[in-house]
Amino acid sequence: MHPDPSPIEELGSLRPYGIRDVARWDENARWLGLLPLQLMENAGRAVADVIETAFPDARRIAVLAGPGNNGGDGFVAARHLARNRTVDVYLVGRPEEIRTPEAKHNFALIAASPHVRVTALGAEDDVRALRLEAYDLILDALLGAGLRGAPRGLMRAAIEAINRHRPRRPVVAVDLPSGHPHEPTVEADVAVTFEWDKREYAGFARIVRPIGFLPELAHLVGPADVRPHLMRRGAHKGENGDLLILAGSARYPGAAALAALAAAPFVDRVFLARPGEAPPPSPAVIPVPLPDRPGGGRETFHPDDVALLRSYLEAADAVVLGPGLGRTPEALAFVRSVLAVLEALRRPHVVDADALYALEPSGSPGSERAVGPNASTEDAPSGGGADADPIRVLTPHGGEFRRLWTAAFAAAERSVEERTDLGSTYSIGPATPWADIAALGEATRRLAERWHAVVLRKGRLDMISDGRRWRYNLTGDVGLTAGGTGDVLAGLIGAFLARGVPPLEAAMTGAFLVGLTGETLARKVGPHYTAEAVAGALPEVTERVRRGDAPPRIASPFFP
């Protein structure tokens, strides 16, 4: 049976995990083409609508507004209410202290209007002298969510001024009562909150109104998810991580080179162990010597190599395993032995390409118990049980995803792995109906939960999950189907793991940056570029994202 998404997932319902998610949605909404000015207009209009409906007899309204976006929402509400009511706006602070362009714009509109009287209160004595008895309703637009610590100074005085007039005058709050959850807090009759019910904030009545957030923001990977991880952790050697790459073979030496080239600009050191005699791909990559096998020569890795590499495995901050490795019995046995060591060390790692074929359900022939999806908690080494956070990132394409699904769920759900939307890399795209995107996202979540790993299913839309929630990345270009781009992705994810980025965020960051780099190259040369070109362009694209300069997703006259 196809894994059905929950109703919440199918509808794309917005529910953040915390206030940081809301800030992320704001930035990602802009990247998608939804302007903050639009959201502020919708929020202020929603507040005005509630007042007009719930308090029809309120003919004189006082708006107390702060200098942030909560105040900006209040400015918009004041403009709409002034059509048929008397509205006075009290800016708690000075006009030059208004923070955002959107709030400044809406303040300028009401300040220039003869229908709204605006007064700036720049001193605490001015706020304490405020008399609100003549008004039928007070609108609290002082402070929004995300307040750190108790209100002080002007804001404390304004909150106390509002509360002095309760319960004689009804008070409506924008988003949530100012000061909440600290003291003092505005004693509001109701808060008009946006998009979700803010149930994490208790103690006040609320009315929920949508303001136009795109439902996909709850799952989308955008610049706001990536940018926090692009700053280097320090300016000294050793503070940005060491990455060990175990990849390649005598037949496929290039895959290891691409992974190393992609990772090198983002970490302190890249150590590369690969069979064969190919020279290091760059002076920045440190080769790890592998002696010839008995009888001379070396075609691939061997289980005996684990002992030779033990000191490197212990010293590395993260490991990439698999690109170009080959699927010989010796190579796959080597992978299983390495995975057991990494689990015991609790070392973050990426399992890519051929190494994915070493993963088998526990109890099957040749498998390691701690490697498969059914490994028991008591047998998992060093805290690697079901309750521990995943340290492993799996990066299958569509066919490899189907194989992992079959291995994890076996014949009981065989119809699932036969579905083309699980097995085909290109069956899901930006024009796919949301229900199908959500179904594949939920399937990715279930697979990640089963394997106790972060799963990044590569495709036209990359699906990413840690087994708790799923996300999707829509950056990318058809040129990324070129051989080797998956090796670049594996190396880049490994680099962010080495820098201490959690596995889910490292996978999202890698997928977003590689996809955006492909788009950037396509604008310059069309789809005819190589994986090496992607690796070479990654630093420039990454810096653009870090500066907040990621190109918007839509062509619009509102974006330069």
Binding residues: 69-73, 140, 144-150, 175, 178, 255, 324, 397, 486-487
Classify 359 as helix, strand or coil: coil
Task: List the structure tokens of 333.
Answer: 């046995």
- For the chain, how long is the longest CA-to-CA vector? 98
Report whether 57 contacts 170 (CB < 8 A): no
Residue 50 CA to residue 59 CA, distance in Å, equals: 14
Give the Cβ contact number of residue 42 at 10 Å: 19
Dist CA 61 CA 45 (whole Å): 15
Q: How do beta strands 86-92 and 318-321 pair? A: unpaired
Burial of 126 (0-12, 13-18, 19+ CB in 10 A): middle
- Annotated binding-site residues for K(+) read 70, 140, 178
Cα 495 to Cα 266: distance, rounded to the nearest angstrom: 6
Contact 230, 506 (CB under 8 A): no
Query: What region, left, alpha or beta, does residue 36 occupy, with left being phi > 0 and alpha being psi -120 to 50 degrees?
Result: alpha
- Report DSSP letters for 405-420, one per residue: HHHHHGGGGHHHHTSH
SS3 state of residue 470: strand
Q: Which residues are annotated as a binding site for AMP?
A: 486
- Tell me which residue of 396, 400, 407 sits closest to 373, measured CA to CA: 407
Cα 517 from Cα 23, distance rounded (Å): 25
What is the C-alpha separation between 75 and 94, in angstroms, rounded? 14
Q: Please, which residues have CB within 8 angstroms of residue 377's CB and are 6 or more apart in sequence? A: 385, 386, 387
Q: Which of 291, 276, 288 is nearest to 319 (CA)?
A: 288
Q: For residue 540, which phi and psi values (nearest 5 degrees)?
A: -65, -45
- Residue 297 Cα to chain centre, angstroms: 45
**Distance between CA atoms of 432 and 437, rounded to whole angstroms?**
7
349 DSSP β-pair partners: 319, 392
Distance CA 30, CA 42 (A): 15
Annotated binding site for (6S)-NADPHX: 69-73, 144-150, 175, 255, 324, 397, 487
3-state secondary structure of 211: coil
